[in-house]
Structure 1
Amino acid sequence: MKKRGNVAISKLEKKNYKWIYLFLLPSLLIFLVFYLQPIITVFYTSLTKWDGFNSPSFIGFQNYVDMFQNEAFLISLKNIVLWSLIAGTLHVGFGVLVAFVLYHKPKGWKFTRTVFMIPNVISAAAWAMIYKFIFNDEMGILNNLIRKINPDFHVQWFYDSPYAFWAVTFTWLFYSVIVTLVVLNDLMAIPEELTEAAKVDGATGWQITRRIHLPLCRNAIGTGVICSITARIAMYEQIALTTAGGPGDDTMNLPIILVKSIQDMKYGYANANGVIMFILGLVILAVVNKAFKMNESVY
């Protein structure tokens, strides 16, 4: 009797799977047409000399050889490593901190939530222009405040080395609403029984946060790390509208090189940069998934 019941359940599951596959079909078709085919094209044309108009001419790995011999590209990799470390620690850490503060609902938490989210609905390009005025030496609020203490202070933040790197960093460092929302969602999903049981056992607020809340939010935090670091790899507007990769190559990154290559009609070289960005994204995804054990259940 039990065996017949299992067989019936198995048949029902298979029947349901057919509907699941049917609903997944549109997404699969969209992926094949709009994602997989362009990805394959990018990989292939990265091995060619191509001006975007004439037929690509196969040249093997020459674009990659030229890329790794380009000082601007090597500086871009160094900048990506530094920005990724900052994004994965300070940027995500600040977002997680705000999420935990909002979760405990202190006095004025609704106002704080609103104020914190307002800057994040403004486009990256708009923020870049706003910061260009904030960091302006003559009219910028930052330098004018500093000159209240040091009247002789004069720095053109976006045009002087090494200040340009940190000026670009500050255009995104404290705007981590995505991280906050993802982590806050996980916090609110934690059963109250777990917190109450810990309090009954004599756990302090810090112990509950460290031993219950943080471990149960690891998937959300890992997602925040992935989003933050990949955003730094694809960061374009903040640099293009402020430093354009300068002074020298101090704030150069891969998207700037990619766009400049397209403007110079070097589509094969540009796609080689795109392949590197794609591979970096996959590596980050794999490393963060492993570090945060995101494929394992948290409960």
Structure 2
Amino acid sequence: MKKIGVLTSGGDSPGMNPAIRAVVRKAIYHNVEVYGIYGGYSGLICGNIKKLELGSVGDIIHRGGTMLQSARCPEFKTTGGQQKGIEQLKAHGIEGLVVIGGDGSYRGAKALTELGYPCVGVPGTIDNDIPGTDMTIGFDTALNTVIDAIDKIRDTATSHERTFIIEVMGRDAGDIALWAGLAGGAETILIPEENYNMDEIADRLRKGQERGKKHSIIVVAEGVCSGGEFAKQLKDATNLDTRVSVLGHIQRGGSPSAADRVLASRLGARAVELLIEGKGGRAVGVENNKLVDYDIIDALAKKHTLDLELFNLSKELSI
């Protein structure tokens, strides 16, 4: 394989740039040309493709977002859109493709694979909801962003003796809420994977007040409900004075953490190795700090699971 392409798709995540850098430099090290596809699958369809050199990825390892930009592309969900993409790849002589992104990005890579075009998926999403890997690129950075916000909000919650509800991202996965809530000492964590009991939450808050606790932090994953919706439910149940903070897209931005830079570098380089070995239709990940790869179709067939031991621990520590 002498020419490969790389694109980022779906929601951006801190660490995508280090992954792009790893793909480009690993490929060039092995005398393989690399072409950047700008704007995700949408850019692929319209042929927004440029050759990348070593200097193209200089000074990007510390930058958040993605230098290749990203976009949603409903057209690529159709066979016609996928065929247009393949025509563009063939026109540029690109023989294999590295796709960095989340679930939707993997579905596009799976479609190309089934049409006979070799792709390797690299898990880039803050949601940490891709099966087959312990961590996705961007998750660690997003966690640190949320924890920093929790620490700051706790200061004002203490000053005003209020209960603060913090809504975090994660789509249908509760990893960000769980990990950040545990690390930030939240009194209550709501995740989509487990139903919550308002009476139990109200009782925990009441017991805290009885022992002199004047403030609380509640972390709500967006896959459960909005922070505003939960605040109304809590108000009806307890009559507590609450404030809501929706962290939103701040969680996707910022310079990637050291952990994300290293993870992205390892996964991006391994994706190139697989293409050079002639292995398409794969996805890369890390399990127990070891690099793994598996069938990308299997990745989409499996369901992401959350560590419920951590969730139980968070409840034990928030008494």
Which structure's CA Rg is the greater one?
1
Structure number with higher relative contact order (C-alpha < 8 Å, ≥ 6 residues apart)? 1
Q: Same fold (TM over 0.5)?
A: no
The structure carrying a bigger helix percent of its residues is 1
The structure carrying a bigger strand percent of its residues is 2
Q: TM-score, with normalisation over the residues of structure 1?
A: 0.24
Q: TM-score, with normalisation over the residues of structure 2?
A: 0.23
